Amino acid sequence: MNALDSAPLLQVEGLARHYGTQPVFSHVDLRVQRGEFVAIVGDSGVGKSTLLNCLAGLDHWDAGRIAHAGVDIGPMDEARRALWRRAHVGFVFQAFHVLPQLTVAQNVALPLMLLGMHDAQGEAQVQEMLAAVGLAGLHERLPEQLSGGQLQRVAIARALVHRPPLLLADEPTGNLDPDTAARVMDVLTRQTRERGAALVLVTHALAAAQRADRVLRLTAQGMQPLG
Ligand SMILES: Nc1ncnc2c1ncn2[C@@H]1O[C@H](COP(=O)(O)OP(=O)(O)OP(=O)(O)O)[C@@H](O)[C@H]1O
C-alpha cells in the first residue's frame, strides 16, 4: 500500500469560508475513512450546504485544505476538478437536478454515460440501483410523472450508480415518508459498508444521524463531536 492509499479518503484542515465580509465558518477539520459514515448537523444557515459544496469542489473556500485520498483538490483547475468529481464523487443535492427530458433510467445512467461505462454491466447497475431505491417499475417514466419523493430517489440512484468512493448527501431524506427514508438510508449505508465508500451526510433528521458512526456539529467556530 502506498502513502496515498493509506491516506484518509477525505481530509479537511482549517477550512474557512466567507461571503464578502460575512464569515460563514472557520477552523473546520474533518477526516473520513473508507467505509465510514459521518453525519453533520447544525443550525439552519450555519453553512452545512456550503461545506458540502466545498467538499465536492463545487464551491471555493478562503483558507484551509481539502484532500481526497491524499490528493489536494485546491490547486486543480475547473476542468480537472469536474473530471475528478465525475469519477470520484456521488452528490445527492437538496434540489434534485433531475433532467426533465430524460426517462428515469436515462437519468440514473447519466454518470455511467459520461464515464464511458454504460455497457451491459452498467445497465445492470442502473436496474439494480432502481430496485434498491424502490423504483423498479418506473424506469421508462419521465420526471414530470413522478412524485417529489420518487424524484429524490432518482437523484440518489444516479449519485450512487457508478459506485463513487465519496458520497456527499444534503438532507437526502427530507422529502420522504419514514419507510422510504429508511430504505434510502439503507442504500446509502450499504454502499458505505459493503463497497467501502466514505459517506458525509448533512441532516436535521435524527433517524438518519443515528445510523452514523460519528455525528459532528458545525458551528461558526468549527466542527465538534456531538454529545
Ligand atoms: N450567495 C450567497 N451570498 C451571500 N450569503 C450566502 C450565499 N449563499 C448562502 N449564503 C449564506 O451563507 C450561510 C450558509 O448557508 P448554507 O445554505 O450553507 O447553510 P445551511 O447550514 O446548509 O442551512 P440550512 O440548514 O437552512 O439548509 C447562510 O447564512 C446563508 O444566508
Residue spans of the domains in the chain: they are 36-59+86-225
Instruction: Establish how many alpha carbons lie within 13 A of residue 126's alpha carbon, considering only the half-sphere containing its beta carbon.
Output: 22
Average pLDDT over residues 124-153: 93
Is 203 touching ligand 1 by the criterion CB < 6 Å? Answer: no
| Residue to mutate, 48, 62, 173, 223, ligand 1, most ligand atoms under 8 Å from C-beta | 48
**What's the mean per-residue pLDDT of the chain?**
92
State in words which class domain 36-59+86-225 has: alpha beta
Give pLDDT, residue 126. 97
Residue 177: pLDDT band with limits 50, 70, 90:
confident
Confidence at residue 4, expressed as pLDDT on a 0 to 100 scale:
57
Q: Which residue shows C-alpha cell 492509499?
A: 5
Q: Which of 15, 19, 55 to mutate to test the pocket of ligand 1 (most atoms within 8 A of CB)?
A: 19
Beta bridge partners of 198: 166
Name the grid cell of 136.
423498479
Q: What pLDDT, on the 0 to 100 scale, is given for residue 227?
A: 67
Confidence category of residue 97, pLDDT binned at 50, 70, 90 = confident
| Mean pLDDT score, 193-214 | 92
Residues in the chain: 227
**What mean pLDDT is predicted for residues 31-38?**
97
Residue 96 belongs to what H/E stretch? Answer: none
pLDDT value at position 5? 63
The reply to whether ligand 1 has any atom less than 6 angstroms from the CB of 58 is no
ipTM greater than 0.90, yes or no? Answer: yes
Is 50 a pocket residue for ligand 1 (Cβ < 6 Å)? yes
Distance CA 119, CA 121 (A): 5
pLDDT band at 196 (very low <50, low <70, confident <90, very high): very high
SS3 164: coil
